[in-house]
Amino acid sequence: MLKKFSFTKKQLFNSHGYNYSKLDLSLTGIMMCLSVGVVAYIHKLQMIYFIVLMATVVILLPLLFTAYFKYKHEKTKFEEYCLYFENMKLYFKTYKKLIIALEETEKMFSNKSKMKECISKAIQEIKSSGDYEKALGYIDEHYHNSYLMRLHNLLITGEKQGSDAVYYNLDLINYEAWKEDIKVFQNRKKTAKYMFYFMFLLSLGISLYTAYIFTQDSTLANVVTHSNYQLYTFVELEVLLVMFMYVYIELVNKKWMRSDE
């Protein structure tokens, strides 16, 4: 059940099942508002523009938090998938019994893990009905892709027929290449994100320095009160703010695993 980030019990954003500290998120929001406030103050923006900037932060924060928790969810899901895949291959080849492989693999996960919950259901299904397809379906439902489907098909075949060819074919699943591709792609996204942060901070720094020069030079001091300066500076800061939020959300708010892979 999702936690609620609201004193009125109204769900403000999707936490994807994660527990979180309301205090930490409140402090994050306050720090972002203070940062925007300081930037607006240095630029000597009028109150109306200051209020619009604050409103933009408040409106976009739920999207930012949702993206952050989705990133955590997708990263954890990928890590659980890899841990399950590798250990099931290892334990099935060792014990040649599906239920033992599941029981040993289950020990690798914490009690809060979604994978542990799925494996537990699978074990209970095998014990109660002996239906291997239905049992592994509990895991496939939440972590489905073609590599997992092939693994499960081989595990079921090996359980029912016990052929040495099954154990050989388990090593032929091209899972490692897929796993490495995911890691490389995520590292590229991280590099792109940091490059954008650098460009964002550089642009903001130049803008702040220009505003500082205006306030220090008596011949330019009146410029900051001019309506054109106020409007253009507000538009610049608003665009920087929205672009920062948008790029962050777009870079992290994506699935790591696709069901059609």
What six digits make up the tokens of 24? Answer: 């930490």
DSSP 53-106: HHHHHHHHHHHHHHHHHHHHHHHHHHHHHHHHHHHHHHHHHHH--HHHHHHHHH
- Count CB-CB contacts under 10 A for residue 141: 10
- Range of lowest pLDDT (113-117, 126-130, 140-144, 241-245): 241-245
Q: What pLDDT does residue 6 have?
A: 40
Check: CB of residue 147 under 8 Å from CB of residue 88: no
pLDDT tens by residue, 31-41? 888 888 888 88
Check: CB of residue 241 under 8 Å from CB of residue 53: yes
Higher pLDDT, residue 179 or 7: 179
pTM value is: 0.76
pLDDT tens by residue, 169-188? 888 888 888 888 888 888 88
- Count CB-CB contacts under 10 A for residue 187: 10
Confidence at 10, pLDDT banded by 50, 70, 90: very low
